[in-house]
Every structure is written in C-alpha cells, then in structure tokens.
A = this chain, B = another copy of it.
Amino acid sequence: MANVYDAAYNLEKAIRESDDYKNLKQFYENVMNDETSKRLFNEFRETQFQLQQKQMMGEDLTDADVQKAQMQFSLIQQNEAISKLIQAEERMGMILSDLNRVMMKPLEDLYGMPGGFQ
C-alpha cells in the first residue's frame, strides 16, 4: 500500500509547487495583510456560509439575506486584491476537481459511474 500513499504525497508536493497554488497563497496573504480587504473578505465568506447552511436546512432565504449578499458581492468586486483571490480560488477549485476525477477513475471504471460505490 505504501505506493498509493507515496503517490498521494507526490501529488501534494506537486500542488504546493504549482504556480496556481503559489499565486493563490500570495493573493490570500495580500488580502489578509490589508485590514479592510481582510474584513470584507471574511464577512463575505461568513455570509456565503450562512446562506449555504440555510439552503441545506431547506430554509428560505429572506430578502434581507439576498440584499446583504448582493451588497457584499458588489463591494468585493470593487476590491482588486479580493477579486484576484477569488479568481485564484476558482482556478484552484477546478484543478482540484480535475485531480479528484482522475483519482476516482479506477472506481468509475469498475462501477460504471462517477464516484463508484460512494
């Protein structure tokens, strides 16, 4: 089994050394090192999280919820550091989703569907 874990650690290392990860890290630090951007970003994330929780619980979003999210979204769009971070997150998210799909391919082949038995 060592082989599988070795291969996973190699993948982890390749991710850390990739330009996409280094950019993400830099943009994250840029946001965290600027008080205004940091506060704005954390509030935006918190709102996203709360709305997701509500939706997962089957609760309706109120007009106040939607307005708050829209207001925060328009503020972060005007913030260059945050915009760059969010773009880098989206790119990293697509890459990780690709990598995960590759990793799950053997199960998909066996069970004839994405994700296999899971």
Contact = CB atoms under 8 A, between A and B. Distances in A.
Interface in A86-106: 89, 92-93, 95-96, 98-100, 102-106
Interface stretch (A4-12, A62-70, A73-81): A4-12
Contact of A1 (B19, B28, B93): B19
Interface of A: 1, 3-21, 24-25, 28, 45, 58, 89, 92-93, 95-96, 98-100, 102-107, 110-111, 117-118
Contact of A11 (B11, B98, B111): B11
Contacts of A24: 110
A99 B93 contact: no
Contacts of A13: 7
Copies of the polypeptide in the assembly: 2
A8 B105 CA distance: 11
A103 B4 contact: no
A3 B28 contact: no
B20 A1 contact: yes
A1 B19 CA distance: 7
A118 B100 CA distance: 14
Contact of A103 (B6, B17, B19, B96): B96
